[in-house]
A and B are shown apart, each in its own frame.
Chain A
Amino acid sequence: MRQFLYDRVRPIILYALAGFFVIWTVAPVLWIATMSVQPEINYVSVPPKLSLADVSLRWYGEMLAQTDVAAALQNSLIIALSTMVLCLVFGALAAYPLSRLQLPRKNWFLTASIVSRMIPSMVLIIPMFLIMRQLRLLDTHLSLIIVYTTFLLPYVIWMLKNFFDQIPYALEAAARMDGCTRLGALFRVMIPVAGPGVVATAVFAFIGAWNEFLFGLILSTRFAVPITVKLSALVSSTFHSDTSLVAATGMLAIIPVVALVFVLNRYIVRGLVEGVKY
């Protein structure tokens, strides 16, 4: 009898809870997605009159036609991709000796990379502004690429190191016996073998750079404004005719990363878990 009850009740509870979590997770996204494809009048009405007949992508079209939003998306893409590439290259170069070689003060390196992950961006933002001004890099892609790379590298190094650690030493030894130099073994064997981990790390760096806000807000003014900053400006400005436009911009800001996460979710889950292993 108890077993019977358990078998009957268990799926009900499981699905009810799972349903709650799915709603909790999806509702905020779904709501602005809805807003982004409906005229404002529909959801401002009490009660809201959402209608399938009114669904339109014109607010997306309108925002993309606005040069500053399109430019912000392009800026974010350039910055995030460059950050990702730099993080992978520098990260792999640094993670390899940490994982494989005898290095003087290796523990010092590892501690430093952990400590640098803890530094809140708020501490750095004022000096960074002054340094970038000194370097005449304010409002350039490069300034944001440098800052994001510096900030993400400790995470990236740590993730890559953990992935490299899982590769048997013998594999690299085999590559060297076969005629690879150490660097050759890194690029021809270690990185391809750590493939899924490298993909996860790359996505992590890309998303980290794409989603960053504070540095973007302070270090960019006109030409290098990333989409997150553009969106926050739109939200607080009253110079737009229609909230659907803001909602559409919000969607544009998350669509690339959400797509990445959905396509590569397996890698990402592993990468995230790996990133917090000390």
Chain B
Amino acid sequence: MDESKFGLLLTLPTIFLVVVFLALPITYAFFMSLNQIELTISPDWDFVGLKNYTGLLTDKRVIDTVPRTLYFAGLNVIVTTLMSLCLALILNEQFKGRNWIRVFILLPWAVAPVVSGVMWRYMFHQSYGLINALLTSLGIIDKYVVWFDNPTVALSIASFATAWKALPFSTLIMLASMQGISESLFRASKMDGANIFHRFRYVTLPHLRPTLIFVVVLQIISSLQAFDVIFTLTRGGPGQGTVVLNYLTFVNAFERLSIGAASAMSIMLAVLIVLLSGLSIYISMGRKGKAKG
């Protein structure tokens, strides 16, 4: 058989799945986004064109999620990037027990986001949280604090929980990138009298730059998709305190049953994510090019 026909044949199962369960639903979602569908009122579709989209810009609930999402994303990006950079630097050093630590830090990656939400909920729980117990025994607080009553604190915890889960993966790609720095470059800089900080500043950091940007973009994307963790951590509370963009989409779709508006939101979100992902791929292509050159 002709080589290319044979190849095409092998990809058919995948093509079938992707068309039926990816392309079709997206098209479906797009059509729904052009209609007003309020299932609490009636099952009818009412074509409204782009009204759902323009409606997003004036919907107070949507506008309210923007600062929350930005705060959530910003904190997540900062915590994840700094921590994974620091951890990768440590793991790139030779010391006893390093291999054990490498295994241990994989743990959050394996934990389902839903479960990590539960874990962080119990860490900060008002009556049986580890944090309350620790802070009390250290004398920092007199009595247990209801952390989740404060929207900013709750949002921060959600962000930490997300960063916690993202740490292993970002560390691994940073570590992989660090290991791509040639040893002779370090030796040369040592010969030139560079100390450890110089070496970090002038050798490691420039080499890592594309990877750092990649991690940042990745965390922005994951913040835009945040849902599972918040679902078990706070259920969006207190009030609307932890309702970020993606969570609002869920609420609109499955609690308010405003299918048209929810579809429009999700499409907007998808467009945003595809653009950002394109950016991250562009960056990691640069990463590869650099590694080769």
Give complex CA distance A218, B25 in Å: 15
Chain A residues with Cβ below 8 Å from B214 are 276
User: Which of A90, A127, A218, A228 is B17 in contact with, Cβ under 8 Å?
Assistant: A90
Give complex CA distance A218, B231 in Å: 13
B86 with A103: CB separation less than 8 A: no
A257 at the interface (CB under 8 A from B): yes
Determine, out of B49-57, B110-118, B182-190, B199-207, the stretch whose residues face the partner at the interface.
B110-118
Determine, out of B63-71, B119-127, B147-155, the stretch whose residues face the partner at the interface.
B119-127
User: Which of B14, B98, B116 is A153 in contact with, Cβ under 8 Å?
Assistant: B14
User: Which of A102, A125, A250 is B253 in contact with, Cβ under 8 Å?
Assistant: A125
A17 with B269: CB separation less than 8 A: no
B104 with A273: CB separation less than 8 A: no
Assuming the contacts A21-B101, A272-B169, asked whether A211 and B107 have C-beta atoms less than 8 A apart, the reply is: no
User: Which of A97, A126, A243, A278 is B128 in contact with, Cβ under 8 Å?
Assistant: A243
A53 at the interface (CB under 8 A from B): no
Give min CB distance, B283 to chain A, whole Å.
10
Chain B residues with Cβ below 8 Å from A273 are 172-173, 176
A104 with B93: CB separation less than 8 A: no
Assuming the contacts A35-B122, A147-B21, A213-B113, asked whether A25 and B167 have C-beta atoms less than 8 A apart, the reply is: yes
Mark B residues whose CB is within 8 Å of A.
3-4, 6-8, 10-11, 13-14, 17-18, 21-22, 24-26, 28-29, 32, 83, 86-87, 90, 93, 95, 97-98, 101-116, 118-123, 127-128, 130, 133, 136-137, 144, 161, 164, 167-169, 172-173, 176, 214, 221, 224-225, 227-228, 231-232, 235, 246, 249-250, 253-254, 259, 262-263, 266-267, 269-270, 273-274, 277-278, 281, 284-285, 288
12 other A-B residue contacts (CB within 8 Å) besides A207-B110, A250-B115: A21-B101, A22-B105, A24-B164, A28-B122, A40-B128, A97-B8, A115-B274, A128-B21, A250-B119, A258-B110, A262-B103, A278-B284
Mark A residues whose CB is within 8 Å of B.
11, 14-15, 17-18, 21-22, 24-29, 31-32, 35, 40, 43-44, 46-48, 89-91, 93-94, 96-98, 101-104, 109, 112, 114-128, 130-131, 146-147, 149-150, 153-154, 157, 182, 207, 210-214, 218, 228-229, 231-232, 235-236, 243, 246-247, 250, 253-254, 257-258, 260-262, 265, 268-269, 272-273, 276-278
